[in-house]
Amino acid sequence: MAKPKEFPKQSQSQPRKEYKMHPQPEIIRADYKGSGKLKDKVALITGGDSGIGRSVAVHFAREGAHVAIIYLNEDEDALETRKLVEKEGRKCFIIEGDLRKEAFCISAIKTCISEFKKLDILVNNAAMQFPQDKLTQIAARQLKKTFQTNIFSYFYITKAALPHLPKGSSIINTSSVTAYRGSHHLLDYSSTKGAIVSFTRSLSANLASKNIRVNGVAPGPIWTPLIPATFDDVSDFGADTPLGRAGQPSEVAPAYVFLASQDSSYITGQFIHVNGGEIIGG
Ligand code: NAD
Ligand code: MG
């Protein structure tokens, strides 16, 4: 009988933390010029301590927004994100906790509102993945953890945020290229990412009359802590894309700026595919 692996063991050389990564991901291009697209807006970004979320936080700040970030336990990374946002002259509020718990999501939104008095942009971005070669290796515990982290949390936090979101606000959900083309070794993860696509489309229809737009970004291979933390061999990560390389967070975050700003005022229920050129439907 196939014995389900619990979670894959993480070796010490596989950092979950951005400050331990080599090479360091590019957070924002040195020549990225802000133009006040998000002036005085308030954004909440889950998983904003590192990777794509950190990069989104810094881009939003350069465009004039204050940000709050939620992260699991990576204090050093979260403090660094705060430093980077403050360097842009904006405020950053960091909130540590587990988004799998609805009570925490409710209290995180309360904290954010009491700090900033409003919320204009919600970025659902936190996720985990546990690669397994066979379906039989996916233990119930892993399955639950993946769904609770990657999709239940999007429901919890959005539900809690909704009463505070004004007309013209924007919700942006992070899916993945794996939602569209599948992934042979990320069966549970890619399923949650597919659920995020459907959640985004359904919620966009549900909130259109309130003039709250709901869109998403579906990244391909991006160099973030998630990658060395979960894959043993990252030497050819991204090499199979048409552009022949992995992307940097700095190449993903501008899509979030677009979807958060009034530049995308007539777009809802859609995904932007920042994936190095892979053609996929939807
Ligand atoms: P990352 O590890 O830097 O960011 C994910 C963050 O989620 C973590 O920093 C962690 O603090 C947070 N998180 C995880 N579980 C949590 C929990 N229970 N409670 C609170 N916070 C929690 O990785 P990333 O690659 O920047 O991932 C960001 C998003 O991009 C994810 O949704 C991921 O699925 C998606 N994505 C990444 C890639 C890629 O190649 N890196 C590709 C496609 C999609
Ligand atoms: Mg992190």
| All domains of the chain in start order, with CATH | 36-272 (3.40.50.720)
Query: How many C-beta atoms lie closer than 10 Å to residue 106's C-beta?
Result: 15
What's the pLDDT score for residue 14? 59
Closest-lying ligand 1 atom to the alpha carbon of residue 247: 40
Residues lining ligand 1, CB < 6 A? 47, 49-53, 70-72, 74, 98-100, 125-128, 149, 174, 176, 219, 221-222, 224-227
* Interval 127-150 mean pLDDT: 98
Ligand 2 mean position, distance from CA 203 (Å): 27
What's the pLDDT score for residue 281? 81
Q: What is the DSSP letter of 119?
A: -
What's the pLDDT score for residue 11? 44
Closest-lying ligand 1 atom to the alpha carbon of residue 229: 2
266 is catalytic: no
Ligand 2 mean position, distance from CA 142 (Å): 19
What's the pLDDT score for residue 71? 98
What would the pLDDT profile of 235-275 be if each residue is shown by its tens digit? 999 999 999 999 999 999 999 999 999 999 999 999 999 99
Which residue carries 């992934």 as its tokens?
A: 183
Ligand 1 mean position, distance from CA 125 (Å): 6
Give the residue whose CA is nearest to atom 23 of ligand 1.
226
Q: Which of 32, 189, 256, 266 is catalytic?
A: 189
Rounded to two decimals, the pTM is: 0.96
Ligand 1 mean position, distance from CA 267 (Å): 25
Which pair of structure tokens corresponds to residue 114?
A: 């009491």
Ligand nearest to the CA of 151: 1
Ligand nearest to the CA of 249: 1
Give the residue whose CA is nearest to atom 34 of ligand 1.
127
Q: Are strands 213-217 and 271-272 parallel, antiparallel or unpaired?
A: parallel
Judged by DSSP in three states, 38 sits in coil
List % helix, strand, coil for the chain (3-state, nearest 5).
45, 10, 45
What would the pLDDT profile of 188-234 be if each residue is shown by its tens digit? 999 999 999 999 999 999 999 999 999 999 999 999 999 999 998 99
CA dihedral for 170, 171, 174, 177, sign (positive or negative) = negative
What's the pLDDT score for residue 7? 47
Is the pLDDT reported for residue 32 higher than 70? Answer: yes
